[in-house]
Amino acid sequence: MPATRTARRRTRWVRNTYGNASAETFLVIAITTILVTRAYLALTDYPQIGGGSLHIAHALYGGAAMMVALLVGWLLLGFTARSVAVVVGGVGFGLFLDEVGKFVTADNDYFYGPAAEIMYVLVLVILVANRLIRIVRAPTVDEYLANAAAIAATGMAGGLPAHRRSAARAMLDRAEAGGADPRAVRGIRLLLDSADHRADRLYSVQQFLPRRVPGFLRSPHWVPIIGWLLVVASTAGVITGVVALLAGGLSLRAADTVIDVDRMGIAELILFLSACLTFVTAAPAMVCYRRAGPLWPLQTLRTAALIFTVLNAFADFATEGFGAVPAVAVGVFAMVVLSHQISARVGIPAPATDRSTI
C-alpha cells in the first residue's frame, strides 16, 4: 500500500532555522559600522569626499553595499553566500543609518541630537520583531522538513560540515515524528548521506572564541555583583524619582556638594519607570538567589538587566546622544554574563534542534 501523507494545515510562511542568528549578526555589524564610522570621522575632522560643491555622502556607499547584499542573496546559493550577504548588508545598513540625521532635518544636519535615539529605536524594533518571529510559535512539521531539505540541497553543491548535517537529521526526526511524508523524509536523508564533508572554519572560530574568554569573566561570582549593583542603582533611581515628583525644583547646595532635582520631564519619567521595574524584579531575585538554588532568580536578574539597559538607553540617547554607548555596553555585558550562567546551569540546545525556536 502506498504511503499516505497525514492531513495537516499547511505553513504559509516558512521560517529559516538560521534566520534569527543572521538578523542579529546583521545588526551587530551595522552598529559596529556606525561606531567605527563616527570614530573615524571625528579623528579625521570630518573629511568631505568629492571636493568643492560635490559631497558624496557615505549613505550612498551604504545603499550600494545593501544592493550588493541583495544580489548575492538572490543569485547565489549556500551558507557562504548568506554569510557574505549578512556582512556586506550589515556594513551597508550601518553606513546608511549613520546619516539618518540628514534625512529627517531640513538643513541636512548630520549632528542632529535625536539621531542616536532614532538609530537605537530602529535597532530595538528590529531586535524585538526578530525575537517575536522566533517565539511566536513552535516550528511546524513543514518548517522542519523544509529547513532540512535546504541544508541537504546546499550540501550537494559544496558539502556539509558535521554540525549542519547533525542539525538537519535532528529536524528530520522531528518532522517524521510530527507526521511528515515518509517518502520526503527518506529522500532528504539520502541527500544528507550523499553530501560530501566540508570543514566550517567560521563555525570553528565561533566555537574557539568563547573558550578564549578569561575564566574570571565566566565566574559565577559576577552574579551577586551584577545583581546587587542593579538593586542599588534602581533604588537610587526610585528615590531620585520620588523626590522629583514630590519636590520638583529642589536644590540643595553645600560647600562641596550640589544636588539639583529639576521637575520631572519625559526622560526623567522613563528613568524613574526603569528604576521601579528593575527594583521590583532584581530585589526579590537577589534575596532568593543561591548559587546551587533554583534557576528563576538568574532568569529574573537577566530580565531586570534587560529592562534597565533598554529603558535607560531611551532616556540616555535622547539626552546624551552617542555618549550613552558606554552605559549600554555595560548593560549588554551584564546580560551576557547572566545568560552564560543560565546556559552553564541548564545548557542551551542548538537553534536548529530547539523545539521552541526556529
Q: What is the pLDDT of residue 357?
A: 41
- The pLDDT of 234-246, averaged and rounded, is 85
In the structure grid, which three cell numbers stand for residue 310, read together? 533598554
Q: Give the residue-averaged pLDDT of 57-61.
A: 91
Cβ 30 vs Cβ 69: under 8 Å: no
Which residue range forms the structural domain that includes residue 178? 141-199
- The answer to whether residues 109 and 182 belong to one domain is no
Q: Is the pLDDT of residue 80 over 70?
A: yes
End-of-domain residue from the set 93, 117, 135: 135
* Total number of domains in the chain: 3
pLDDT (0 to 100) of residue 351: 42
Both 194 and 220 in one domain: the answer is no
**What are the φ/ψ torsions at residue 302 (nearest 5 degrees)?**
-65, -40
pLDDT digits (tens, 9 = 90+) for 10-42: 667 889 988 988 998 999 999 999 999 998 988
Residues 58, 112, single domain; the answer is yes
Asked if residue 32 belongs to a domain, the reply is yes
In a domain, 165, yes or no: yes
Domain check: are 192 and 289 in the same one? no
Q: 297 and 228 share a domain?
A: yes
Greater model confidence, 351 or 20 = 20
184 and 123 share a domain? no
| Pair 341, 264 in one domain | yes
Statement to judge: residues 57 and 102 lie in one domain: yes
pLDDT score of 356: 39
How many C-beta neighbours within 10 Å does residue 252 have? 9
Are residue 237 and residue 334 in the same domain, yes or no?
yes
Asked if residue 90 lies in contact with residue 28, where contact means CB atoms within 8 angstroms, the answer is: yes
How is 165-202 classified by DSSP, letter by letter? HHHHHHHHHHHHHTT--HHHHHHHHHHHHHSPB---HH
- How confident is the model over 41-57, as a mean pLDDT? 80
Domain boundary among 135, 160, 183: 135
* pLDDT tens digits, one per residue of 243-294: 877 766 544 555 555 555 556 667 778 888 899 999 999 999 999 998 878 8
CA 224, chain centre distance (Å): 25
Distance of alpha carbon 20 from alpha carbon 24, whole angstroms: 6
* CA proximity to 354, closest of 87, 171, 84, 219: 171
| Higher pLDDT pick, 1 / 298 | 298
C-alpha cell at 165: 548535517
Q: Can you tell me the distance from the alpha carbon of 69 to that of 85, in angstroms, rounded to the nearest whole number?
A: 4
pLDDT at 323 over 60: yes
Q: pTM for the whole thing? A: 0.77
The distance between the two most distant Cα atoms of the chain, rounded to a whole number of Å, is 94
Q: Which of 129, 142, 151 is nearest to 82 (CA)?
A: 151
* C-beta atoms surrounding 191 within 10 Å: 18
Q: How far apart are CA 184 and CA 192, in angstroms?
A: 12
**φ/ψ (deg, to 5) at 264:** -70, 125
Whether the Cβ atoms of residue 314 and residue 117 lie closer than 8 Å to each other: yes
CB 241 within 8 A of CB 272: yes
